[in-house]
Amino acid sequence: MNEHRYQHLQTNLERLKLTRLSERLDQLAEEAAKESWTYVEFLDRVLDVEVSARVERDVAMKTRLARFPFVKTLEQFDFSFQPALNEAQIRELATARFVAHGENILLLGPPGVGKTHLAVSLGVAAIMQGISVVFFTVADLIDVVQQDVKDDRLDRRLHALCTPKLLILDEMGYVPLDQRSAQFLFRLISRRYQKGSIILTSNKSYGEWGDVVSDYVLATAMLDRLLHFATTINIRGESYRLREKRKAGVFHDLAAKPVKGNSSPTRKTQEEEQDETKSRYEDV
């Protein structure tokens, strides 16, 4: 290639901010010459390099904006550990067709069974398809609602939470909702109804929602909208966290060696206590 033309091309690529292409140009030109690509093929390859760079950047940006507590994919989920879970159904949900139809997903089950992992994985899968996602725990939502009331910007928050195509609300039921937060959640669910999808995870059966929001009428109205176009997935299996701990012998050690200076019976870990709530799911 003529040196002057090469410099000119690199300058233009820089001006157009086509950085990935600028880096790959030499390699592409060599391959094109060696394999006698047609002009169309060359152009196609050139655009492909830049488009994939942009998709990568878009995925990285959307992942940051989603504010996931951790980033995990379906590939990291061990389906053999939850044999009752329908893997084909989860993989279908990962196509994000439910988002196109404004449908919801409810992931129910006791602590540690992978609800958050699955919700995040479905969020990541949606992002791969260009869908905007925001993740919130219900506890964090309560906090921001309290602050927003003080700052008089609750409506702005509602608008912001209606903007992403997919909203993940994690851990409904761990913290009771005060009246204001419950009403805000109801408005949020109503606004998004049939327009923007919600993935909600909960350790509570639907029958217990009245206690969580301290208002049975509001709880019924929320569930009515959430469940109208929704897939409910009950995960009834064992806690993955506890299995890992059992394997590491943590529980065995706790039982065998009472803590020195503490005459009270060995305290249960928070997870053990939470795990005992498992039996409540049988009637979800």
Backbone angles phi, psi at 172, to 5 degrees: -70, 125
- Nearer of residues 109 and 196 to ligand ADP, judged by Cβ: 109
Stretch that binds Mg ion, among 75-83, 113-121, 149-157, 275-283 (CB under 5 A): 113-121
User: Least separation, in Å, of the C-beta of 247 and ligand ADP?
Assistant: 13
Task: CB nearer to Mg ion: give 25 or 90.
Answer: 90
User: Is residue 204 close enough to count as binding ligand ADP by CB under 6 A?
Assistant: no
Nearer to Mg ion, 174 or 229 (CB): 174
Q: Which is nearer to Mg ion, 82 or 116 (CB)?
A: 116
Nearest residue (CB) to ligand ADP, 50 versus 170: 170
Among residues 111 and 186, whose Cβ is nearest to ligand ADP?
A: 111
Residue 202 within binding range of ligand ADP, rule CB under 6 A: no
Residue 111 binds to ligand ADP (criterion: CB under 6 A): yes
Q: Number of residues in contact with ligand ADP, rule: CB under 6 A? A: 15
Residue 95 CA to residue 78 CA, distance in Å, equals 19
Residues 48-87 that bind ligand ADP (CB under 6 A): 72, 77-78, 81-82
Q: Does 116 bind Mg ion (CB under 5 A)?
A: yes
Least gap, CB of 248 to Mg ion (angstroms): 21
Distance CA 17, CA 262 (A): 65
- For ligand ADP, the binding residue among 25, 93, 113, 166 (CB under 6 A) is 113
Span from 112-120, 122-130, 143-151, 184-192 in contact with ligand ADP (CB under 6 A): 112-120
Q: DSSP characters for the chain?
A: --HHHHHHHHHHHHHTT-HHHHHHHHHHHHHHHHTT--HHHHHHHHHHHHHHHHHHHHHHHHHHHHT-SS---GGG--GGGSTTS-HHHHHHHTTTHHHHTT-EEEEE-STTSSHHHHHHHHHHHHHHTT--EEEEEHHHHHHHHHHHHHHT-HHHHHHHHHSSSEEEEEEETSSPPPHHHHHHHHHHHHHHTTTSEEEEEESS-GGGHHHHHT-HHHHHHHHHHHHHTEEEEE--S--HHHHHHHHTTHHHHHHHSPPTT--SPPPPPHHHHHHGGGGGGGG-
Q: Is 209 in the site for ligand ADP (CB under 6 A)?
A: no
> Under the rule (CB under 5 A), what is the footprint of Mg ion?
116
Interface residue list for ligand ADP (CB under 6 A): 72, 77-78, 81-82, 109, 111-117, 240-241
